């Protein structure tokens, strides 16, 4: 069994909990997730099965979508509602002012990761240090907010926002930074992941539903094949003469291409053998010494 299952992670489960339940339910050893969701968060969590685990980095690198409730005026140790309250301030619930601040975060911004995160420093996770009462200096990272919208104003001190962002974005920190810019502080009081790359809420399956699907021998109805996950990539088919070289992960020159392809140098493509078997992700390149196009293996998925 190789591919991806789009799981709806419910509140109370860690991402590792979900992996353990899926592994047991489908009776597969090789199972992994594609980006941690906090126990209090819920929503889309693509789970990789078998050879699909080789795609985890690619899925994690895709855009993410979130819906978050922001509670203004209350600052916590964890930047969400699970932490201890550090400070409480009055909130000037001026909708136009709030809009201006929220929308100012659109684009590339520098973000300092929270202490309560799984980032490792000198071999130790930040949240482990935070639980010991330690706080260390963290370097800011450039992330991108592709889109941010206010869905609801909930007086006297809450708003609901929708965010489309790059890998590595901490929504908790975004909520906290919105509060700082407003001058009253804030924390994230709920979080729903609405999207992870091409995986969305409308196709996400809860763990109880997964069990029923497996019991009815209908796993194929929700298992997304590896090349379907990468459907946005262009495809290159190789002629029968290069089958052995291709299966061994070699560089393939264009005289072995099944047809001519108009693909830019450096672009990742999906490569198939003459029988239509998906081999893996290759980089489309131009060999200056031979003055011809070629594809070089990036990730073999045989």
Catalytically active residues, by annotation:
38
Instruction: Measure the CA angle with vertex 220, ends 46 and 194; round to 5°.
Output: 25
Phi, psi of 209 (to 5 degrees): -65, -40
Distance separating alpha carbons of residues 193 and 204, to the nearest angstrom: 11
Alpha-helical runs (H) found in the chain:
15-26, 56-60, 95-103, 126-131, 171-182, 207-215, 226-229, 243-247
Cα→Cα distances 224→12, 43, 51, 141, 186, Å: 26, 18, 12, 33, 39
Tokens 């060999």, located at residue = 287
CA pair distance 233, 72, nearest whole angstrom:
42
What whole-number distance in Å separates Cα of residue 98 and Cα of residue 77? 23
How far apart, in whole angstroms, are the C-alpha atoms of residue 224 and residue 211? 17
Q: How far is CA 130 from the centre of its chain?
A: 25
Query: How many whole angstroms from its chain centre is CA 95?
Result: 31
Query: What Cα–Cα distance (Å) separates residue 53 from each residue in 47, 48, 77, 79, 219?
Result: 8, 5, 34, 31, 17
Contact 179, 71 (CB under 8 A): no
DSSP 3-state of 86: strand
Rounded to 5 degrees, φ, ψ at 176 are -60, -40
């Amino acid at each position: 069994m190789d591919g991806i299952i789009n799981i709806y992670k419910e509140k109370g489960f860690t991402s590792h909990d979900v992996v353990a339940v899926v592994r047991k339910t489908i009776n597969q050893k090789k199972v992994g997730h594609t980006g941690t969701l906090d126990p209090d968060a819920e929503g889309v969590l693509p789970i990789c099965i078998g050879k699909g685990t080789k795609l985890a980095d690619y899925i994690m690198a895709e855009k993410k979508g979130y819906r978050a409730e922001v509670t203004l005026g209350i600052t916590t140790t964890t930047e969400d509602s699970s932490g201890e309250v550090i400070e409480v301030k009055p909130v000037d619930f001026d909708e136009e002012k709030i809009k201006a601040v929220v929308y100012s975060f659109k684009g590339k911004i520098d973000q300092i990761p929270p202490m309560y995160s799984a980032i490792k420093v000198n071999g130790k996770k930040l949240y482990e240090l935070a639980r010991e009462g330690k706080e260390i200096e963290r370097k800011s990272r450039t992330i991108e907010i592709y889109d941010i919208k206010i869905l609801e104003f909930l007086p006297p001190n809450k708003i609901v926002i929708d965010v489309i962002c790059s890998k590595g974005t901490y929504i908790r920190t975004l909520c906290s930074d919105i509060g700082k810019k407003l001058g009253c502080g804030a924390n994230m009081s709920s979080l729903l992941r609405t999207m992870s790359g091409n995986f969305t809420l409308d196709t996400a399956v809860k763990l109880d539903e997964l069990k029923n699907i497996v019991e009815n021998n209908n796993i194929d109805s929700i298992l997304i094949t590896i090349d379907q996950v990468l459907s946005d990539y262009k495809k290159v088919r190789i002629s029968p003469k290069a089958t052995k070289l291709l299966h061994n992960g070699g560089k393939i020159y264009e005289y072995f291409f099944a047809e001519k392809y108009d693909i830019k140098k450096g672009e990742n493509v999906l490569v198939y053998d003459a029988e239509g078997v998906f081999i893996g992700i290759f980089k489309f390149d131009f060999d200056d010494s031979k003055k011809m196009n070629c594809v070089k293996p990036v990730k073999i998925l045989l």
